[in-house]
Structure 1
Amino acid sequence: MAPTREQPAAHPASEPHGHGLRLCRWDADSDADVAAWMRGREDPEFRRWNTPLKAVTGFDSARDSLRTQAASAAAGDCVPFRVTDAGSGTTLGHIGVNAIDRVCRVARVGYWVLPEARGHGVAARALALAARWAFAELDLHRLELGHAVGHDASCRIARRCGFPYEGTLRGAMFEAGRLDAFRDVHLHARLATDPEPGMP
């Protein structure tokens, strides 16, 4: 059966699409992709809730970051997607299926949305789309989502997309902007056998 807007093809090169979005691969050789990645990773709201081991601090480091991510994807450790508007192709944010464990069939999902795209349900729609793709394409059994305690918007998105709260992980991520202090994380997860929620 040919893929539809609401049922992406299960193929490594596929670009999942539906809910008004298309999930594309990032291109480290594209200046437009690098600029969007830089804006997302340098955004104060992103930095409030995330502390990468290596921060993006300008165009060159953004390109290096994308290339590092591409190498990780080539090794099968993650599948990163650029979230775009299905009609215009405008970049709206990022969603990645990360820390893929093919033995236990589990992975972690993470996402961010550019400032101008917030407030339009982009993260929830991208999460619903990526989760469906990950279960079908990667044959995962469990998809986890963790966010810093206090990130209420991410908590709502997770629940809306069928990722119930499972508990609090103590000291499981770095404090904002620090690599020497930790904060607690809310863990959400969805199983392949869970009923799929309605469109976010």
Structure 2
Amino acid sequence: MAHTRIRTLAPSVTEPRGHGLHLSAWDAGSDADAQTWLRGHLDPDFQRWNTPLRPMTGLDAARESLRARAREAGEGRSASFRITDGADGTTLGHIGVGEINLPLKLARVGYWVLPEARGRGVATRALLLASRWAFAELGLHRLELGHALGHGASCRVAERCGYRYEGTMRGAMFEENRRDAFRDAHLHARLATDAEPAAPDAR
């Protein structure tokens, strides 16, 4: 089916490759991309640790979410990457660089991996690749990463990628499936001047 291509990356943004991965643009006009975006957000493990501002209720909501990210990319406020296998192009998950503040040289990163791609170091490799891109291409000095207290897997990814634990932020995230209650979160950060850790082997 023909559709208008709406990329979640600004036209000038390069698509990073390395560590066995290709970080490419999501296409808000693609049914396949919208279905994958929806599947990722409906995954029970994603929902356990993340409560988006707007519920992801179906394909129309998924398309609008991707269109919103495309608008933010056009305004230079974020970059949303589809994590794909560097060899065959299979979609593995998502990683985003958001809340970009160029005057302060600061941004926040977030990611999720589809269930069938877990256990292969995908999040770690993607975060290393996206971090290198953000420092080099955007000229950022600091990248922050927050995750809900108790999310051990995300904590380990952050630490493997050189994002040091800086403390606990009180009431910094919505509780699971609630927008009227809050939970604590860990804050991790990496500076452009920090050493880049070695990437795990692609599996």
TM-score, normalised via structure 2 length: 0.92
* Alignment partner of 1:83 is 2:83: yes
3-state DSSP of counterpart to 1:196: coil
* Alignment partner of 1:99 is 2:70: no
- The 2-side partners of 1:155 and 1:13 are apart by 28
* Maintained 8 Å contact 1:148/1:184: yes
* Alignment partner of 1:176 is 2:158: no
* Maintained 8 Å contact 1:51/1:178: yes
> Any gaps of 5 or more consecutive residues in structure 2?
1-10
- The 1-side partners of 2:75 and 2:13 are apart by 15
3-state DSSP of counterpart to 2:177: coil
- The 2-side partners of 1:190 and 1:13 are apart by 22
Deviation at 1:12, TM superposition (A): 3.2
What does the per-residue CA deviation read over 1:141-198, in whole Å, with 9 as the maximum and x for residues that have no partner? 0000000000000000000000010100000010011000000010000000001111
Aligned CA RMSD, in angstroms, stands at 1.0
- The 1-side partners of 2:63 and 2:79 are apart by 17
3-state DSSP of counterpart to 1:53: coil
- The 1-side partners of 2:58 and 2:23 are apart by 25
Q: Provide the residue aligned with 2:19 in structure 1.
A: 19
Deviation at 1:13, TM superposition (A): 3.0
> Any gaps of 5 or more consecutive residues in structure 1?
1-10
The aligned runs of 1:184-199 (5 Å cut-off) are 184-199=184-199
How many pairs were matched up?
190
3-state DSSP of counterpart to 2:193: coil
Q: Provide the residue aligned with 1:69 in structure 2.
A: 69
What does the per-residue CA deviation read over 1:49-101, in whole Å, with 9 as the maximum and x for residues that have no partner? 00101011111111111111111111111011000001110100000001011
3-state DSSP of counterpart to 1:68: helix
- The 2-side partners of 1:55 and 1:196 are apart by 36
Deviation at 1:29, TM superposition (A): 0.6
- The 2-side partners of 1:12 and 1:154 are apart by 30
What does the per-residue CA deviation read over 1:101-155, in whole Å, with 9 as the maximum and x for residues that have no partner? 1111000000000111111110000000000000000100000000000000000
* Maintained 8 Å contact 1:106/1:141: yes
One-letter code of the match for 1:67?
A: R
Q: Provide the residue aligned with 1:129 in structure 2.
A: 129
One-letter code of the match for 2:84?
A: T
3-state DSSP of counterpart to 1:107: strand
TM-score, normalised via structure 1 length: 0.93
One-letter code of the match for 1:124?
A: T
